[in-house]
Amino acid sequence: MRKIFMTALILVLALSSCAFADGVKIGSCIYRFSDAFMLRFRNAMSAESAKEGAELVLADSQNDQTIQDGQVEEFIANGVNVLIINPVDRMATQNIIDKAKAAGIPVVFINREPPADILSTYDKAYYIGAKPEESGTIQGELLAEYLKSHTEHDKNKDKKLQFVMLMGENGHQDMILRSEYSVKALKDAGIEPVQIVGAIANWDKLQAMNMMNAFIMSIGPENIEAVIANNDEMALGAVEALKANDYNKGNPEMYIPVVGVDANASALEAMDRGEMLGTVLNDADGQGSAAVKLAVMLAEGKDVSKEVTDGKYIWIPYQKVTRGEKK
């Protein structure tokens, strides 16, 4: 059964007609191919693999940890030199580390950070990503800057910010820390935030749109002063719901600022149209490139101590993106 789903799910990338440099073969599991951010990540990994002359084999774990565990076993059985893993469940990464350790294969985790106590159980396990508290902080700063220059946006004149929070996957560290630090940044800026409603929308545009429509119907758009979304897909879902109710269509009196994270192309276009306030660049290109570079170094047995922080981590910083900027 495992070989059947591996044949169906693995995408083998033909990188060049020449021989692969040093015969480095990378096996990589992505939690879900349909995720917009991870598509950018995969494209960056593919481009860097071609540049490095390494063979990259990608597998779609379909948001199922059992499938991913089987894919890891198959990669190891097929003789990959190194693993790059985007975990379905960051709390279930011990099993992956144990398999890699038993085979003596280095493993680089991406996008979903394993707990430090799990990562520390294998000296050849690493993590590449961005610190989610940074993205939350920048979201709060974007809103604070806007509100301080648009005092009329305090609709009920209570000197507080009534906002909706659209959250990613339950238990995901990005969801937890982006939500926490966006609110903290508002408080640090002297704004009193009041979350009137929040919901888990699983990083998904359609789920967020449906939830935002329900909030608009139950709360009334006139009582919503901002939307904070843990990623751009959910922010765009909120924008679609607002537009369906004649908000965020160009009338400054019917505008609710919406912020997201990722700086994907659709979000940048929505910002240019004035439908969305801002976003935070989650550098998929930088992270994907760094993951492959580190993986190749590990596969070739090179010293990576100068590449990592605290012996385990490579951090790619977030960047604030406002209207008119292109990333």
**What number of residues does the chain have?**
327
What's the pLDDT at 324? 56
- The CATH code of domain 2-130+284-316 reads 3.40.50.2300
Q: How far apart are CA 100 and CA 105, in angstroms?
A: 5
DSSP 187: H
Which of 59, 102, 57 lies closest to 80 in space, CA to CA?
Answer: 57
**pLDDT of 234:** 98
CATH topology of domain 132-281: Rossmann fold (3.40.50)
The rounded distance, in Å, linking the Cα atoms of 288 and 89 is 19
For residues 227 and 259, the answer to whether their CB atoms sit within 8 Å is yes
Range of weakest confidence among 44-58, 146-160, 215-229: 146-160
Which ranges of 189-282 does DSSP label H, i.e. alpha helix? 205-219, 232-244, 265-272
Q: pLDDT at position 7, please?
A: 31
Q: Do domains 2-130+284-316 and 132-281 have the same CATH topology?
A: yes
Lowest mean pLDDT among 5-9, 70-74, 218-222, 296-300: 5-9
Average pLDDT over residues 173-188: 96
Return the C-alpha torsion angle 100, 104, 110, 112, nearest 10.
Answer: 40
Closest CA to 78 of 21, 10, 1: 10
Is the CB of residue 88 less than 8 Å from the CB of residue 68?
yes
For residue 316, which amino acid is it? Answer: I
Per-domain residue ranges of the chain: 2-130+284-316, 132-281
Amino acid at 295: A
Is residue 276 within 8 A of residue 258, CB to CB? The reply is yes
DSSP for residue 255: -
pLDDT-based confidence at 325, cuts 50/70/90? low
- Taking the C-alpha atoms of residue 195 and residue 228, their distance in angstroms, rounded to an integer, is 10
Q: What is the side-by-side order of every strand in the sheet holding 258-259? A: 192-200, 160-167, 226-229, 258-259, 278-281, 319-322
pLDDT, tens digit (0-9, with 9 covering 90-100), for 11-40? 333 333 233 446 899 999 999 999 989 999
State the Cα torsion 63-64-67-72 to the nearest 10°. 70
